[in-house]
Structure 1
Amino acid sequence: MAANLQVEDSKARPQHPIKSLLGTMDVRAYTMIAAVVLIWIFFGVLNETFFTARNLSNLFTQMSVTAILAIGMVLVIVAGHIDLSVGSIVGLTGGIAAILSNWLGLPVGVVLLCTLAAGFLLGLIQGWLVAYRAIPAFIVTLGGMMIFRGILLGVTNSTTISVSDPVFMALGNAYFSRIFGLILSTAAVAFIAVAILRKRSSRKAYGFDVSPFGVDITKLVIYGGAAFAFVLTMNNYKGIPFPIIFVMILALIFSYISNKTTFGRHVYAIGGNADAAKLSGINIKSRTMMVFVFSGLLSSIAAIVLTSRLTSATITAGEMYELDAIAACVIGGTSLMGGVGTIFGAIIGALVMTSLDNGMSLMGMESFWQYIVKGTILVIAVWLDISNKNRKAKKA
């Protein structure tokens, strides 16, 4: 009886606003945001060019390809698999886009559909081999990485194919107007406000504790301020780059898929405990195949952005991108053991990786240092993830 009264009293007692705010946060994600801030401050102090609107605009544009790949990679890793072929799919589908546009002179719409279809098909083939033929994903995608790169070399005769279609080139190089940016930031703030109010009303309806109203206002100010700061910074150069909007749209779509759909819940269940998922009636094979389909499809979207931005398809396009995508996911909190990971975290991880590349390039550091630093960070991130899981296991 006393225990029940104590529980009821703790529920009735209002929490301290700061504790309430911290309690609603994804600690890992906000730690990564803090890491981004520290990285930016570090490079900003060492090189004043880092914080210019032009450099930040270039940084976010560079981030877009890694972010798009990381969005697809999250679902693959959460399901307990890995995809080492995404970089080669980027190279091959980018080459296909350039061939269709330059050599065959097809309209942009046809080029885009064929490129997306190619990525979808490559993901489908690999997913079928993993799901229905029980070949380990590591082997299938490692083979795919070599096969797709070889096909690219063969179909392009190991030459660079330029792209001259102005509409296609605009996809990776154009900017939205400054007015559009302001409208977008205003809409983002309105969306966040509505989401917060709906969450409060939903928790009240089901009798759950609700955070103090001041905490939600603080969150709205922080998120809204970040949105307006981003837009104003981009507007100080040329406006919001097209590729960033693609990242935002894809992030919203796949966040919804992973969090609000049956498919997403099944993917997390499979990665958490495949045996339990099977016993609960989840079609593991079809879900597994679909995560590879999504990965291939997103790789082709990344290829379109990259080929458009570079105005050409090269035989080296996409090399090592699979490692950047995996690193972005792991740094953003996705567990290589499966069952844990978020789209938002992967995008923050991609921002960390790109910020390191951008900052070290501005400082004139040799390229080998970039590999050393990013590799070290990846190992540390995995080590922290494993240590955290071990601590939780001991407490349990």
Structure 2
Amino acid sequence: MSDLTKKPVAQKSAFASATTYLASQLRQIGLFIALIVIVIFFEITTAGITLKPINVSNLIVQNSYILILAIGMVMVIIAGHIDLSVGSVVAFVGAMAGVMITQWHIPWGIAIVLCLIVGALVGMWQGFWIAYFRIPAFIVTLAGMLTFRGLTQIALGNAQISPFPDGFRALGSGFLPDLGGGVSFLEPLTVGIGILATLLVIAQGIRQRAARRKFAVEDEPLPWFIAKLVFTSALILLISYLLASYNGTPIVLIVLGLLVVIYSAVMARSVFGRHIYAIGGNLNAAALSGIKTQRVTFLLFVNMGVLSALAGLVFTAQLNLANPKAGDGFELDAIAAVFIGGAAVTGGIGTVTGAIVGGLIIGILNNGMSILGVGSEFQQLIKGLVLLAAVAFDVYNKRRNGGR
């Protein structure tokens, strides 16, 4: 009798534990479901154009600079700040790249390094006023938006600069070498990268789960863990197959992949990442606990400056053009990607992966609506409603869980 009563209770406990875990992950689960639904919707309404290899490749290339900005922006927003200047910094760095390469005749490789240094200096300038003078980031970066837009126009003389060397252009629109010699059905290098990435994701997931179980902090149900790994692996292999069916792997995808891996590790495992979350959660408590909040904030904006510079280089290389109006509205797309990706308005919550998924949602919406011939005015309307819905859902979840 005792054994018969124990088994249902254990099953109920396991079911309750799984339900509780899934409820706590509702935001993340909903994000991936939204991405899948949007892809399926546009795949049907565009008569299969959305998942054509050439369109998938274009989606990655055309949204790469926004995704790069979103990686830096999510860190800034987690810390409770915001950066409105990134679009202007993109334009300014693109202008400096144009001047260095085409007018000063600096080799493009050296120019890239110098432009990244320019981005770091921009971040240091803004981070100094925010961290040490305690001027709100909103004001400092709003001033930066105007300042660096003006400097862009001065550097270019309100004219456009083009063309750029092929080596520089490859950063934005180039592909890894085709090891199949252009005769194989699937580009071998891309297939190999996809399989390797899949194996690494599986191994990393298993290793992290084993570590959590070792310290008795594992609360993720095994079926959900397996389902998540299967979905992620299938997604990576699908993208690899589609890219291998076209021109192979875009160089900017390798750059973006490395950034995602590095910054995910920084935010999840490093002391610097934990300090960013602590500052966003409660600035005063973080300061009292011994965190050097001014130094962390300063480095945060230096990092944002470098990533903005990288995005500017990618965008300029992709267009083969340095334009005074480049980067218009990029800050809004990056901020929208972060909030759609699950970051909290109040700070302290967010992930690099979530920001990437949020950026992909915006990119797929833009791409799908353009294919369908939806006017730009309606595109703006729909993106605004999606952003509002994402933030409203976040606020609703906090209130339901007893937060403010």
Distance in 1, Cα, partners of 2:19 & 2:393: 26
Query: Is the aligned partner of 1:289 residue 2:314?
Result: no
**CA shift for structure 1 position 37:** 1.6
Separation in 2, partners of 1:254, 1:352: 20
User: Does residue 1:175 correspond to 2:175, yes or no?
Assistant: yes
Where in structure 2 are there 5+ consecutive unaligned residues? Answer: 1-5, 179-186
Name the amino acid aligned to 2:273: G
Cα drift, residue 361 of structure 1: 0.9
Unaligned runs of 5+ in 1: 1-5
Contact 1:330 1:336 in 2 (8 A): yes
> Distance in 2 between the 1:60 and 1:212 partners?
33
Whether the 8 Å contact between 1:94 and 1:303 is mirrored in structure 2 is yes
What residue is the counterpart of 2:128 in the other structure? 128
Residue 14 of structure 1: CA displacement?
7.9
- 2:38 alignment counterpart: 39
Q: Is the Cα contact below 8 Å between 2:42 and 2:50 reproduced in 1?
A: yes
2:88 alignment partner AA: S
The secondary structure found in structure 2 opposite 1:239 is coil
Does residue 307 of structure 2 align to residue 298 of structure 1? yes
Q: Does 1:371 align with 2:401?
A: no
Please say if residues 189 and 220 of structure 1, whose CA atoms lie closer than 8 Å, have aligned partners that are also in contact: no
Deviations 1:163-213 (A, max 9, x none): 331100111111123222122122222212222332343234334557676
Calculate the TM-score normalised by the size of structure 1: 0.92
Instruction: Report SS of the residue matched to 2:295.
Output: helix
Residue by residue, what CA displacement relative to the aligned partner does 1:328-383 show, whole Å, maximum 9, x if unpaired?
Answer: 00000011211000000000000011111111111112211121111222222222
Name which of 185, 209, 214 aligns with 1:205: 214
Matching residue of 2:181: none
Say what the alpha-carbon RMSD is for the aligned residues: 2.3
Match of 2:120, as an amino acid?
F
Match of 2:86 in 1: 86
Matching residue of 2:278: 269
Would you say 1:190 and 2:199 are equivalent positions?
yes
Are 1:228 and 2:237 matched, yes or no? yes
Q: Does 1:69 align with 2:78?
A: no
- Supply the AA of the counterpart residue of 2:114: C
Match of 1:307 among 310, 316, 341: 316
- State the number of aligned residues: 387
Counterpart AA for 1:314? N
Deviations 1:28-80 (A, max 9, x none): 22312211222122222221222211111111111211110000001110111
Is the aligned partner of 1:392 residue 2:391? no
Task: Classify the secondary structure of the residue corresponding to 1:45.
Answer: helix
Asked whether 1:50 is paired with 2:50, we answer yes
> Contact between 1:257 and 1:263, CA under 8 Å: does it hold in 2?
yes
The answer to whether the 8 Å contact 1:101/1:163 transfers is no
Counterpart of 1:30 in structure 2 is 29
Find the aligned partners of 1:211 and 1:375 in 2 and give their Cα distance. 34
Greater Cα shift, 194-203 or 277-286: 194-203
SS at structure 2 position matched to 1:194: helix
Query: Cα gap change, 1:322/1:207 in structure 2, threshold over 3 Å: closer, same or farther?
Result: closer
Shifted more, 36-45 versus 126-135: the winner is 36-45
Task: Give the aligned residue type for 2:87.
Answer: G
Whether the 8 Å contact between 2:164 and 2:317 is mirrored in structure 1 is no
Aligned partners of 1:17 and 1:215 also within 8 Å? no
Alpha carbons 2:18, 2:221 under 8 Å: kept: no
* 1:217-245: CA deviation from partner (whole Å, max 9, x where unpaired): 44333222211111001111111211122
| Alpha-carbon spacing, 1:208–1:277, altered in 2? closer, same or farther (3 Å) | closer
